[in-house]
Structure 1
Amino acid sequence: PPAALYTTAATGVSVARPPVVLSRSAATAPAMGRPAMAAMPTGEVDEAVSTPSAQGGAGSVLKLSQVSTAAVFALGSVLYAVSRFFQGPTPRPLAPVDLAHYGTGPVASTRSIAMAATTSTVPMITNDEVLRAQRGWGEALVRIATIYDEKGFEAAKAEAEAVIDGGYGYNIAPVLFKPTLTTGDQVFRTTREGALSYFVGGNPQYPNDGGFALKGWRKVDIENAAIFLDGNTGTSVGNVIITDKNGNVTKVDKTWTFLKDEKGNLRIMAHHSSLPYVPPAAITNDEVLAAQQGWGKALVNIATIFDQKGFDAAKAEAEAVIDGAY
């Protein structure tokens, strides 16, 4: 029968959702005057006396409609679809970033890459690989300087370009490069052009660059304070000691971050270099006493000049003392 509700006049119970009892056959319907068992929405049973129904002039008892299994599953499917609608779409993991998508040409300095939180197919970077990359950087610096001394600027520039293209990550993203000897609004060299100018100079767009790699370097020693490895990146911090052909030594504080690319090559993505901080020497007691004696002698000298040579000469001496001692 099509009826989906079971009601009794005594209780007025209306079950609009499927009761716990899904179906009941006509043979189990209660007879007139006998208690009827009403299945409640919560699974409870309500006991009530059913009353005759005037239908065709003959009294009949209210029967519990038989609910088909197909109808129940259909209703369940509808409810599931509604629940999925309110839950929203099923979350999906982020796809990994394809580094090759960014090309091999120069990139804008404002470009950034958001790495997805997924397992990379690139093998993890190792401590030995970081050490080899550091040594490679030092060897490249010496090689550029030597080529410059032996073959001139153009040959050294070509070598520097090859080193930058092979060892830095400008083909992937802006490199966070802060060289040692840069100033003003050109301190940071996030582009290939800026890095090349720093190493070899000769670019009118960077008039203060003298070519750091052209200064006769012959030896590079690296003293790491620590190396941090994280997946396919490695960061080192320490000192780099560079010696030129005349034996002069320059020591710089240096931080590198290396990225292992899809081909397994290490590329520098961050490079910070600066001269070590040298605090001023502490003043001594003898220096204070000497400054006091100098002030007294200057006072006597100004007075003597005034007596012997007049006001203008004394004024000139006083100006010299003030400019030199104050």
Structure 2
Amino acid sequence: MKTFTVSAMLASTLALGAAQASDHAITGADVQAAQEAWGAGIVAIGAAYTAGEDYEAAARAHIEQFYAYDGHTVLFKPTLASEDQFRGDFDEALSYFVGGEIEEDGGFAIAPYTQVRWENEATIIDSDSAMAMGNYFFTTTEGEEVKVEYSFGYVQDEDGALKIVLHHSSLPYTPN
């Protein structure tokens, strides 16, 4: 397993936006790169928390990079939200990732996780937008994977970077 410093992980996720800045239609590779960078950002937030660094700044940078709150409506239904199910603005998303504003939020991203692995069921691309659905797996510090179901919708910003406008995730159904 490769070891990265928190600043190196943040730098690599921020570099994705610059790499995508071009005049082209979204591709499946763009979606996969955005997913991998999003996962690395979640890991970086938890690593910053564990190291006693400014994890809130890491979470703010993550949301700014990956979510389209600055110019679009974002439909965000986090996995571990039941009382305030939907996070329609930046501050509510920040609360979910690091805790704070909303009482039920314990800080999902500060768990921490060591890896996020994606298994796309399918991806639909329409030149300047894309949707992906499947499972993603969050590896805990004990090495266990937590399976979560997701649907993400993306649009391109003016620089060509993918931004999330739909994020719905939930734990798999467990019959009684």
Please indicate, yes or no, whether the TM-score normalized by the shorter chain is above 0.5.
yes
Q: Do structure 1's residue 188 and structure 2's residue 89 form an aligned pair? A: no
Q: Residue type matched to 1:164 in 2?
A: I
Which of these residues, 158, 162, 171, is aligned with residue 262 of structure 1? 158
Which of these residues, 197, 203, 212, is aligned with residue 95 of structure 2? 197
Indicate the SS of the match to 2:97: helix
Please list the CA deviations of residues 100-125 of structure 1 after superposition, one character each: whole Å capped at 9, or x if unmatched.
xxxxxxxxxxxxxxxxxxxxxx5311
Bigger share in strand: 2
Q: Do structure 1's residue 126 and structure 2's residue 37 form an aligned pair? A: no
Which of these residues, 119, 124, 129, is aligned with residue 223 of structure 1? 119
Q: Do structure 1's residue 178 and structure 2's residue 77 form an aligned pair? A: yes
Name the structure 1 match of 2:172. Answer: 276
Q: Residue type matched to 1:197 in 2?
A: S
Q: How much has 1:174 moved relative to structure 2?
A: 2.0
Q: How much has 1:245 moved relative to structure 2?
A: 0.8
Instruction: Provide the C-alpha distance between the structure 2 equivalents of 1:234 and 1:174, rounded to a whole number of angstroms.
Output: 16
Instruction: Provide the C-alpha distance between the structure 1 equivalents of 2:112 and 2:35, rounded to a whole number of angstroms.
Output: 19
Q: Do structure 1's residue 237 and structure 2's residue 133 form an aligned pair? A: yes
Q: Residue type matched to 1:157 in 2?
A: E
Please list the CA deviations of residues 218-247 of structure 1 after superposition, one character each: whole Å capped at 9, or x if unmatched.
011100100000120010000001111112
- Larger relative contact order, structure 1 or 2 (CA cutoff 8 Å, min sep 6): 2
Q: Do structure 1's residue 163 and structure 2's residue 62 form an aligned pair? A: yes
Q: How much has 1:202 moved relative to structure 2?
A: 2.1
Q: How much has 1:249 moved relative to structure 2?
A: 2.1
Q: How much has 1:209 moved relative to structure 2?
A: 0.4
TM-score (norm: length of structure 1): 0.46
Q: How much has 1:195 moved relative to structure 2?
A: 0.3
Q: Residue type matched to 2:57 in 1?
A: A
State the structure with more CA Rg.
1
TM-score (norm: length of structure 2): 0.85
Indicate the SS of the match to 1:151: coil
Indicate the SS of the match to 2:117: strand
Q: Do structure 1's residue 246 and structure 2's residue 145 form an aligned pair? A: no
Please list the CA deviations of residues 112-165 of structure 1 after superposition, one character each: whole Å capped at 9, or x if unmatched.
xxxxxxxxxx5311111000000011000001001100024xx00000000101
After superposition, where does 1:97-108 map in structure 2 within 5 Å?
A: none
Structure 1 ranges of 4+ moved more than 2 A: none
Count of equivalent residues: 155
Which of these residues, 16, 35, 50, is aligned with residue 149 of structure 1? 50
Q: Residue type matched to 2:34 in 1?
A: A
Name the structure 2 match of 1:75. Answer: none
Indicate the SS of the match to 2:88: coil
Q: Residue type matched to 1:215 in 2?
A: A
Q: How much has 1:194 moved relative to structure 2?
A: 0.4
Instruction: Provide the C-alpha distance between the structure 2 equivalents of 1:150 and 1:165, rounded to a whole number of angstroms.
Output: 22
Instruction: Provide the C-alpha distance between the structure 2 equivalents of 1:176 and 1:131, rounded to a whole number of angstroms.
Output: 20
Indicate the SS of the match to 2:71: coil
Q: Could you list the runs of 5+ residues in structure 2 that have no partner in the other structure?
A: 1-22
